[in-house]
Structure 1
Amino acid sequence: MRLASDRLSAQSPRMFRSNTVLLENKNAIVYGAGGAIGSAVAQAFSDAGARVFLTGRNRTTLEALAEEIRGAGGAAEVAVVDALDADAVEAHADAVIRDAGTLDVSFNAISLPQTGIQGIRLVDLTPESFDRPIATYPRAHFLTARAAGRRMSAQGSGVIVTITASPSRTATPRMGGMAPAWAAVESLSRGLAAELGPQGVRVVCINAAGMPETAQLTEVYGLHAAAYGISHEAFTARMTDLTVRKQLPTVAEIADVAVFVASDRAGGMTGAIANVTGGLFVD
C-alpha cells in the first residue's frame, strides 16, 4: 500500500525561502518524506538548520531527496519505514536517538491514493473504501506520535507536528472516510498535547487546504470535478473562490508554517490547530 503521494515534479522550482536557523541543532523525523508535502517540509526543516531523517516506503525517492538536501549543505539520513508498522516505527526512533542523541521534531505527512475514496457519496461508498483512510491516517499518526512522545518525554522537550485538511471542520460532500479520519487526527493531537505538555513536549496540528501544484490535489480535484460533471479547472476555480484571499495555499506556505510551529519561537503553541487554508474556513 502506497503511503506517500507523488513528489512534486522534478521540474518544479524550489519554493523554500527561509535561510534562518530556527531549527539549528534539531533532529527531525519526517514520515512520508517522499510525498509532495513531506519532501517540502523536509527541505524546509533542513534549510532552517535541522538534521532530517527521511522515512517512507520508496528508498529511491528518499535517496534522491537526501542527495538534494546534502547538495544544498544540509544533513539527511534515509530509512525505509512503514508508518503503520509499530515495531518498525519504534526501531527507527531508537536508531535516531542512538545516532543523533535526541529526537526534537516529528512530522507525519503520510497519505493514500484517493481514487475510490473521494468523489463518492457516503451512501454509495463501500464499507472497505470508508474504512481505509480511517484505518490508515489515525493509526499512522498514533504510532509515530507515540514513538516520538515516549522519547521526547524522556528528554524533556520536543515537538510533534501533524497535518490534516479543511474537510475535518467543514460540511464537505463526497469526502468518504477522509473527513472523519482527519477529525480523528486533530482529536488525537489535542489529547497528546494534554498528556505530554507537562513533560515539555508540544503537539501542533496544521490544517491545510488543497495545494494546486501537488499531484494528489490534481487527483482529488479531478475526482470531485467528475462527480459534479465539470472540468478540473472549474472545480479548482470554485474551491479557490471559497477562500478568503481567493488563493489556495501553496506547499511552500505549508512548509514555512511547519518550520515555525516546530521551532522554539512557537513555544506557546500546543494543542492547537494552525489554520493554513488561505481562509477556506475561518476560526
Structure 2
Amino acid sequence: MLLTNKNAVIYGAGGAIGGAIARAFAREGANVFLTGRSLLSVEAVASDILAAGGVAETAQVDALDELAVEKHLSAVVEKAGGIDISLNTISLPQRGVQGIPLVELSPESFTLPIMTYMKSHFLTTRAAARHMVEKKSGVILTLTATPARTAASYVGGMAPSWAAIEALTRSLAAEYGQQGIRAICLRSDAIPETATIIEVYSLHAEALGLTREAVQDFSANLNLLKRLPTLAEVANVAAFMASDQSSAMTAAVVNLSCGLIAD
C-alpha cells in the first residue's frame, strides 16, 4: 500500500472530492483525520472507511477559524505522533458567484471566493507546515480547477482564487523544500459526479440559455479525451502524489484536465 501508517488530515472531507480522496488514502493504508463544518457528511465518509477496515476519525472544524484549525491539528499530532499529509478541499455555494458576467458582479460576490479559499488554504497549509518541519517531512496537497490556467467565462472570482492557490502551493514548496516538505497542487477539469459541478453547469446553462446537459457535453468535447475526469481518477492521483512514490515532485501542478490543457 502507498500510504501505510501515514497520518492524513483532510479539510472539507464531507464533500464529494474530499470524501473520495479520504477513501483512497485509507485504502492505501493511511490513518485519516476528517474535518468539516458539518459532522453529518464527514461521519458518513468515516463510516465507509471503517466498514472497509480503514482507520478514520472525525472532528467538526471550521477551516476559516484560525484557532479551530490550530487546536485540531495540534491534537492530531499529539495523538498520532505527527502529520504526514494535509489536504484542503473546502467549497462554497456557487449561486451568485458563477454564471454571472464580470461587469454585473458586485465586489462582494467577486471577492468572496478569493477571500474564502485563500484564507482557508493559508490557515491549513501554515498549520501543517509548522508541524511538518519538526519531522522534516510531509506533503501538502491543494486542489484547483482548469480556469486557473485557461480562459473561462462566467466564473467570477473563482479563476483568480484557483490561480492564487497554485501560487501559494509554489511558495510553500520553495520555502520548505529543504526541510523535506513537498507541496503539490491537483488541477482538475469539472467532475460531473459532484453536486458542485451540477450546480455550476446549471448556473452556466441559465446564463447561456442552454440546458445543463448541453453545457456539460460542450465542456467534455473540449478535451482531447472527449470526457471529463472522474472522482476515482482524481482520488487515485492524490494518493500517488501523497506517497513516497512521487518523492521527486514538488512545486508542481498535476494536470487532470483530460487534455483540455496541454503541458
Unmatched 5+ residue regions in structure 1? 1-20
Match of 1:208 among 188, 192, 210: 188
Q: What's 2:117 paired with?
A: 137
> Is 1:218 the equivalent of 2:198?
yes
1:221 Cα deviation after fit = 0.5
Match of 1:156 among 127, 133, 136: 136
Runs of 4+ aligned residues of structure 1 deviating over 4 Å after TM superposition are none
CA contact (8 A) 2:14 2:44 kept: no
Alpha-carbon distance between aligned partners in 1 of 2:216 and 2:46, rounded to the nearest angstrom: 32
Q: Secondary structure at the match of 1:146?
A: helix
Match of 1:46 among 22, 26, 42: 26
1:62 Cα deviation after fit = 1.4
Alpha-carbon distance between aligned partners in 2 of 1:115 and 1:259, rounded to the nearest angstrom: 31
Q: What's 1:15 paired with?
A: none
Please give the per-residue CA displacement for 1:208-267, whole angstroms capped at 9, x wherever unaligned: 010111111100011111111111111111000000110100011000110000000000
Q: What's 2:261 paired with?
A: 281
Q: Secondary structure at the match of 1:82?
A: coil
> Is 1:243 the equivalent of 2:230?
no
Alpha-carbon distance between aligned partners in 2 of 1:80 and 1:45, rounded to the nearest angstrom: 20
Q: What's 1:6 paired with?
A: none
Alpha-carbon distance between aligned partners in 1 of 2:150 and 2:44, rounded to the nearest angstrom: 37
> Is 1:123 the equivalent of 2:107?
no
Q: Secondary structure at the match of 2:168?
A: helix
Q: What's 1:195 paired with?
A: 175
CA contact (8 A) 2:84 2:132 kept: yes
Please give the per-residue CA displacement for 1:14-71, whole angstroms capped at 9, x wherever unaligned: xxxxxxx100010000100000000000000000000000000111221221111111
After TM superposition, the score normalised by the length of structure 1 is: 0.92
Alpha-carbon distance between aligned partners in 1 of 2:43 and 2:15, rounded to the nearest angstrom: 13
Q: What's 2:64 paired with?
A: 84
Q: What's 1:5 paired with?
A: none
Opposite residue 53 of structure 1, the aligned amino acid is: F
1:138 Cα deviation after fit = 1.2
Unmatched 5+ residue regions in structure 2? none
Please give the per-residue CA displacement for 1:128-153, whole angstroms capped at 9, x wherever unaligned: 10011011111111110000001001
Q: What's 1:13 paired with?
A: none
Q: What's 2:74 paired with?
A: 94
Alpha-carbon distance between aligned partners in 2 of 1:81 and 1:121, rounded to the nearest angstrom: 34
Aligned length, in residue pairs: 263
1:96 Cα deviation after fit = 0.6
After TM superposition, the score normalised by the length of structure 2 is: 0.99
The percentage of counterpart residues that share the same residue type is: 56
Opposite residue 86 of structure 1, the aligned amino acid is: E
